[in-house]
Amino acid sequence: MSGPLPSVLFKVLPEVHARRLVETGEMMWSTLAWFQNEEDPNRGDKFDATRRHFPPDGLTVTRTERDGRPDNARFTLFGHGNQWRPVRSRHIFIYSMTLDPNLVLGDPAAQTCVEIFNPAELVDRVRLTLKRHRKARPETLIHDVVRYWSSDKPPEEVWALPHMLTMHKHQEHSWQREYRLAFGTRADVFDFENVDCRVLSDDVHPPRDDLDPQCHRMKLRLGSLKDCCRIPLTGNVAPASQMRRPHE
């Protein structure tokens, strides 16, 4: 279920957390539900791990039953479409990185870019740590590049595959060029068709929930990662004057 690992990845963090990542392997993971409810537009996305499809000409549906009798009437719901997201969004933890060494999140003066020069070693260390964690299911660990969607494009087979939905975000976040790791705390998080599917109008958006960070955030400590991560001497991979800001 995983995609290929790139030769190098990057993680943008405040300096204190960047140093903890390299020196102690401290990684803060959050559930998909946490990011779906995070209001910071740089870090949250209400449509994280969600696919929505609203055909320009309306959604064509077939009514199979009416008043208890078989019925095959077909009709179009204008302004309506489908939404799919993993049922276990509250039990899928993710860790986000980027393919862009010049990514800027927030104030660039307060951020440091960690270079992950050996992603395969990082994944191996994560897997080993998950095997020792009492809640994690290490067999569910996956990784892949995030893909970005628009509501006028059909989802094809993605709608039925929670592991693929986990690696999807709305196209307005494509500037982040995200790559992510994910694992579940339940064995069925990526089971085929373990998906919440809804028919809704295009003006309906999921409400935000007030989530308990004790349930939706998890800190892992892998030990020193100096054999696969480093902070460039400048603190950033590229000079701040050359760093690309969001939407530039």
What pLDDT is attached to residue 3? 95
Give the pLDDT confidence of 79-137 residue by residue, as tens digits: 899 999 999 999 999 999 999 999 988 788 888 999 999 999 999 999 999 999 999 99
Whether residue 166 contacts residue 146, with contact meaning beta carbons closer than 8 Å, is answered with no
- The predicted model scores a pTM of 0.86
Give the pLDDT confidence score for residue 39 in this predicted structure: 67
Q: Which of 138, 245, 227 is nearest to 187 (CA)?
A: 138
pLDDT for position 63: 84
The yes-or-no verdict on residue 190 having pLDDT over 90 is yes
CB contact set of 68 (below 8 Å; sequence gap of 6+): none
As a whole number, mean pLDDT of residues 194-207 equals: 87
Can you tell me the distance from the alpha carbon of 93 to that of 73, in angstroms, rounded to the nearest whole number? 42
The pLDDT mean for the chain works out to 89
pLDDT at residue 205 tops 90:
no
- State the pLDDT confidence band at 174, using cuts at 50, 70 and 90: very high
Checking if the pLDDT of 242 tops 80, the result is: no
Dihedral sign (CA 171, 172, 177, 178): negative
235 pLDDT more than 60: no
175: Cβ–Cβ under 8 A, 6 or more apart, which residues?
244, 246, 247
**241: its two tokens:** 């004057």
What's the first-to-final CA gap in the chain, in angstroms? Answer: 33
**DSSP strand pairing (111-116 vs 9-14):** antiparallel
Can you list the positions of beta strands (E) in 45-184? 51-53, 59-66, 69-77, 80-86, 92-98, 111-116, 137-145, 147-149, 168-170, 178-184
Alpha carbon dihedral 98, 102, 103, 109, in 10-degree steps, equals: 130
Report the C-alpha dihedral over residues 172, 36, 9, 123, rounded to 10 degrees: -150
